[in-house]
Structure 1
Amino acid sequence: MIAGVIAVVLLLAIAAYACAGGTDYGAGFWDLTAGSAERGKRPRWLIDHAMAPVWEVNNVWLIFVLVIMWTGFPVFFQQVFTAMWLPLALATVGIVLRGAGFALRKPARRLAGRRLYGAIFAVASLLTPFFLGAAAGGVASGRVTAGTAAPADAWSNPTSVLFGLLAVATTALLGAVFLAADARRFQAPDLDGYFRRRAMGALVVVAVLAVITLAVTHQDAPHVWHGLTHGVGLFFVVVAALATLVTAWLLVRPSGAWSRVTAVAVVASAVIAWGMAQRPYVVPTSLTVADGAGAHTTLRWLGLVTLVAVVLVFPAIALLYWLDTRGELEGLTDADLRRGGAGDEG
């Protein structure tokens, strides 16, 4: 019973990272595709201002996922990181390079340096979600088994490739939707339209890839396909489909403020549908939730720590997101500092 509860916590944490971290990766995707320095100046300006307050905190969800995995499901953790060490290592390098590129491109004095750091940030924002998605696809297809010696097929099979492409497409969707909302907050109607058009294109790509993935899993991951077309998994697939339609309707409206909520619902529902489709396994069809879980005492303490995090940490993160979406976390400009200094002297 407690192993099932912790498994649900793990799934919800993965969904949270897919939405929060995915939004940042999506911003990097649009930075990469913004064009030349002159053409992409305004979109990149918005990306910098939108990401600055929250880009570091989003990785808290990834840390939480890893802690739940290695503490609550050590057998699962061992199998995944043994079979998927290469894509996960590449994703880790991408996370580090992406953060360094974003942090260093703005203060760099030379134009060549800013371009180099910007390129590192943008390319890593594309590759990192792909490799994370490919690893998830390897799990879904059941290729992560005891004794797997990390073959290339574990993460380069059809399901893994499609999961990776879906991860990139969903991050692009989230990034564009949130950037459009930020453009409205900054009273930049041209950027609002710019990112709403891209969000609509990304939404179409997500829908097409989702249909293709469902068809491919019928042969390549039959257990997951059955779970996605029956029971609780099917319910969340329907929720994701309805959220997709509502998001499309909101994106054609200039004041579609709720598009952020529905876009998050698309991604979160899809992740939960995948998790529910794998039941009762963490690795279809070789490792059940019960077999992959740690000791009962460990799970109880992990549940207590999770409860503490829910009470103390998650409200602080929610407050940070709320303040950011309301524009309360804008950085000080030189003019602000000069005005503050003048006031102090007076």
Structure 2
Amino acid sequence: MLQIIIIILGVSFILYTLLGGADFGAGIVETFAGKEGEKTISKAIAPVWEANHVWLILAIVIIFTGFPQVYSTISVSLHIPLMVVLIGIVLRGSSFTFRHYDVADDNTHKYYTAFFKVSSFITPVFLGITLGAMILGNITLSNSGSFYEQFIRPWFNVFCLVMGLFSASLFGYIAAVFLIGEARHSTEQKRYISLSKIFLLLTFVMGVLVFAAAEFENHNLFNEFFKSRLSITAFSLVVLLIPVVFYLFNHPNIAYLRAAISLQVALIMFGWFAIQFPILVYEKNGNHLTFYNTQAPYATLYQLLIALFVGLVLVIPAFYFLFKVFKKSNGQNVNP
């Protein structure tokens, strides 16, 4: 039963990274896509952007219900970066809504756009910072330390910052690739292909820097990586998929291209999961929080599993219908 819940949690994080990441990344890509790109991006994400938060909510509910000590530790020790994430989500959503549905395209439009772009960058950065803090091991539950030691030091460091930039570049990569299929003509499509290549290179570089930054912060991530055959396999496949993706950039097939980068993202998430498993949060005192020592009682997990099955039966068909209606690929119908 616990294993099924863990799988659902992992899948929900992957789906949020792909779908929510594409939405946040769209705001990052818009900075380089110009006025025409703004119209394409608004049209592309307007029908589905809010729905994609379902997967983040699902993950939070699973952690809150199934692993309450993990939830309480993260929400207390990392309340500052989490608050920034929440503010970013609210600012991004409200600014996008006002910009897209405002009846008058006046001076206020530029402020909505500015808030949309900035919050689209800040939110994934602080999501990555939060994840980095869970990995690094500076979190402490001791009340004897200073405010800085308890609430600042766990996330305010080089490793967490690099993790944040890696998340932003990954989200930009996902969005740029997905937008190739939303382009209205070949010139715009070529622009998104170029941006996809840039973000792919940036993501690769930031991924390497993540390991270097971990060593800088005295966390031997390299050693943990080489101990996990699953991680080695996953990240090797990610690298091997790069020439496949470049081939698809030069011979665009939207369905295959999106499938390839989705597989890359899933493998990155799985590789990280394999390194960390079964630990969810590394603590400074060495008493790390795992799936096994923080799980809720059997009765709670049982009810959670029932609720998850019922919810997924309702949500998955609804999502399929939503994307079928609003997100039919137009990548094969690009005007010259």
> So what's the TM-score if we normalise by structure 2?
0.89
221 and 315 in structure 1: CA distance in 2 versus 1, 3 angstrom threshold = farther
Q: Which moved further from structure 2: 84-93 or 254-263?
A: 254-263
Q: Which moved further from structure 2: 158-167 or 70-79?
A: 158-167
181 and 311 in structure 1: CA distance in 2 versus 1, 3 angstrom threshold = same
Gaps of 5+ in 2: 331-336
Residue in structure 1 matched with residue 31 of structure 2 by the alignment: 32
- The one of 201, 205, 209 equivalent to 1:204 is 201
Q: Deviations over 1:206-247 (max 9, x none)?
A: 111112212333464746544433222222222322233322
Residue in structure 2 matched with residue 121 of structure 1 by the alignment: 116
RMSD value over aligned CA atoms? Answer: 2.0
- The one of 290, 296, 307 equivalent to 2:298 is 296
Residue in structure 2 matched with residue 271 of structure 1 by the alignment: 269
Residue in structure 1 matched with residue 84 of structure 2 by the alignment: 90
Equivalence map 1:46-195=2 (5 Å)? 46-106=40-100, 107-147=102-142, 150-183=150-183, 186=184, 188-195=185-192
226 and 10 in structure 1: CA distance in 2 versus 1, 3 angstrom threshold = farther
Is residue 137–residue 159 contact of structure 1 (8 Å, CA) maintained in 2? yes
**Separation in 1 of the partners of 2:216 and 2:197?**
30
2:292 aligns to what SS in structure 1? helix
**Separation in 2 of the partners of 1:97 and 1:318?**
28
Residue in structure 1 matched with residue 280 of structure 2 by the alignment: 282
- 2:305 aligned partner, one-letter code: G
**Separation in 2 of the partners of 1:199 and 1:82?**
37
82 and 233 in structure 1: CA distance in 2 versus 1, 3 angstrom threshold = same
Residue in structure 1 matched with residue 333 of structure 2 by the alignment: none
Q: What is the percent sequence identity of the aligned residues?
A: 28
Runs of 4+ in 1 over 4 A off after TM superposition: 221-224
**Separation in 1 of the partners of 2:113 and 2:277?**
41
2:51 aligns to what SS in structure 1? coil
Residue in structure 1 matched with residue 334 of structure 2 by the alignment: none
Is residue 177–residue 259 contact of structure 1 (8 Å, CA) maintained in 2? yes
- 2:295 aligned partner, one-letter code: A
- 1:296 aligned partner, one-letter code: Y
